[in-house]
Structure 1
């Protein structure tokens, strides 16, 4: 709703037309790169265009569960949260994934295997790790964290049909922000989507890890080509917008706006300083909540996860 109807941002898919017909008609694991402040909105938009937004799930950091409204909503929607400490997360993640095994609708499980959003500082540290492990260096991605992906594949192997390798970028070197979207700024997103049947992914954890590293090398090559040519491989398709999200928003906004405005008018007309003060306090709380939500998405204010300094502090 926010991305496609408010800011009028469209996302062009580059994919195989034969695979395109399967999107939204099967369970899938969606592997997304994590380079932009609004990549999560683009992921949701991808789900919405194929009618699975309501049943989509994500592997998200625990801090997001405390974000006002959105975090609470995710909690009740059975989103899988992790503290990004694998010893503590493993059982919780496995249990959350097993809960999806008998999910009554088609669902997509979205995962950012890099674990944190790309920054130059984190990239430098990540490539030092790659060098130490003898892995090929990546130019446009962080080294993927393989354990969460391997467990996801193992837990959902008989449930999902494929992995959708999804690589996102924006035209003309646009640097999209959530603030820009809220201000109605239009961006131009391109998303390269490859459908990979799950049976092609190794069951063994080490082999699965090697497979994921190879996948990210391919994603890196796609990004490099995109920066040179401005397009991804595959056929360019713009999925049609589904009006239901807009209609749903209009209906609920209409139902809720009248009583809210009526309460506001009664508060102001009452002349009670206490009533007006309480209302002003509520507005401040809402404003703080929105600002906190925005800060969670800002790259410069991102978590210290993946930074060497953070690791040193934990020792």
Structure 2
């Protein structure tokens, strides 16, 4: 067992990483709450600030997936498609099979510089989850109740409001 593997197995280090994530997440959520005063004044500035704040939280999870667990996410596509990544708004449809699929999606977003501005179509219940749900709220994530009759207008209006997003974003559906 190498030094890195030994360090990863230490409970106190695992606890420290969890503590750092929770504390930094709460600080980020508080700062995001403070940025709400910007919304009526300058919506684009609000969005840019919250994009950076969410990046600082999501990048911790991407680090855990790639470095800590050693998970490799491979994207299969042609070069012409890759050349467009991070240079336009995109809607991505993922086949959601595992609990960490969203982390793999975030890993790909990180590689192409859109992690902070990535969006998802999420279950409404996730809005109540501390840190992640709260951050998604400030990022204008589209929440659905899984009833198309009710969600149709929510999805269309949510996507419509994101058209003028100041940075390129990926909207992921799983």
Structure 2 match to 1:61: 123
Q: Is the counterpart of residue 84 in structure 1 residue 142 in structure 2? A: no
Q: Which runs of 5+ in 1 are unaligned?
A: 113-315
What CA deviation, in whole Å up to 9, does each residue of 1:45-91 have, x standing for no partner? 11111000111111111111111211111111110000011222222
Structure 2 match to 1:105: 167
**Tell me, what secondary structure is at the counterpart of 1:24?**
coil
| Cα distance in 1, alignment partners of residues 73 and 153 from structure 2 | 36
| Cα distance in 2, alignment partners of residues 63 and 109 from structure 1 | 19
**Tell me, what secondary structure is at the counterpart of 2:65?**
helix
**Tell me, what secondary structure is at the counterpart of 1:29?**
strand
Structure 1 match to 2:82: 20
What CA deviation, in whole Å up to 9, does each residue of 1:232-251 have, x standing for no partner? xxxxxxxxxxxxxxxxxxxx
TM-score, normalized by length of structure 1?
0.34
What CA deviation, in whole Å up to 9, does each residue of 1:116-161 have, x standing for no partner? xxxxxxxxxxxxxxxxxxxxxxxxxxxxxxxxxxxxxxxxxxxxxx
| Cα distance in 1, alignment partners of residues 64 and 140 from structure 2 | 22
Structure 2 match to 1:50: 112
Q: Which runs of 5+ in 2 are unaligned?
A: 1-62
Structure 2 match to 1:4: 66
Alignment of 1:215-254 (within 5 A): none
What CA deviation, in whole Å up to 9, does each residue of 1:222-267 have, x standing for no partner? xxxxxxxxxxxxxxxxxxxxxxxxxxxxxxxxxxxxxxxxxxxxxx
**Tell me, what secondary structure is at the counterpart of 1:109?**
strand
**Tell me, what secondary structure is at the counterpart of 2:76?**
strand
List structure 1 runs of 4+ shifted beyond 4 angstroms.
none
1:2 Cα deviation (Å)?
2.1
1:107 Cα deviation (Å)?
0.7
Alignment of 1:100-179 (within 5 A): 100-112=162-174
Structure 2 match to 1:36: 98
**How much is the aligned-residue C-alpha RMSD, in angstroms?**
1.2
Structure with the higher helix share, 1 or 2: 2
1:6 Cα deviation (Å)?
2.4
Alignment of 1:236-315 (within 5 A): none
Structure with the higher strand share, 1 or 2: 1
